[in-house]
Amino acid sequence: MVATLAEDGRPPAHLGVTHWSARLLAAELKISFATVARIWRKWDLQPWRTTTFKFSTDPELDAKIRDVVGLYMNPPEKAVVVCIDEKSQIQALDRTAPMLPMRPGLAASATHDYRRNGTTTLFAALNVATGRVEQLCQSRHRHQEFLRFLRQVAKAYPRLKLHVVCDNYATHKHPAVKAWLARNPRITLHFTPTSGSWLNMVEIFFGIITRQAIRRGAFGSVRDLIEAITAFINGWNERCEPFVWTKDADTIIAKAHRKPTSGTRH
pLDDT in tens, 32-70: 999 999 999 999 999 888 888 777 888 899 999 999 999
Higher pLDDT: 114 or 208? It is 208
- Where are the domain boundaries for CATH 3.30.420.10 in the chain? 61-100+109-251
Looking at residue 56, its pLDDT comes to 84
Judge contact between 132 and 243, C-beta under 8 A.
no
Whether the per-residue pLDDT at 85 is higher than 90: the answer is yes
Task: Give how far the C-alpha of residue 100 lies from the chain's centroid of Cα atoms, to the nearest Å.
Answer: 30
Q: What superfamily in CATH does domain 61-100+109-251 come from?
A: Ribonuclease H-like superfamily/Ribonuclease H (3.30.420.10)
- Answering whether pTM is above 0.75, one says yes
Helix (H, G, I), strand (E, B) or coil at 166: strand
pLDDT tens figures, 216-258 = 899 999 999 999 999 999 999 999 999 999 999 999 998 888 6
Residue 11: predicted pLDDT: 43
Given a cut of 90, whether residue 145 has pLDDT beyond it is yes
Who contacts 178 (Cβ-Cβ below 8 Å, separation ≥6)?
none
Using alpha carbons, select from 127, 129, 167, 141 the residue that is nearest to residue 87: 141
**Structure-model confidence comparison of residues 223 and 97, the more confident one:** 223
Q: What's the half-sphere exposure (Cβ side, CA atoms, 13 Å) at 259?
A: 3
DSSP 8-state assignment for residue 124: E
Q: Which pLDDT does position 260 carry in this prediction?
A: 54
State phi, psi for 164 to the nearest 5 degrees. -110, 120
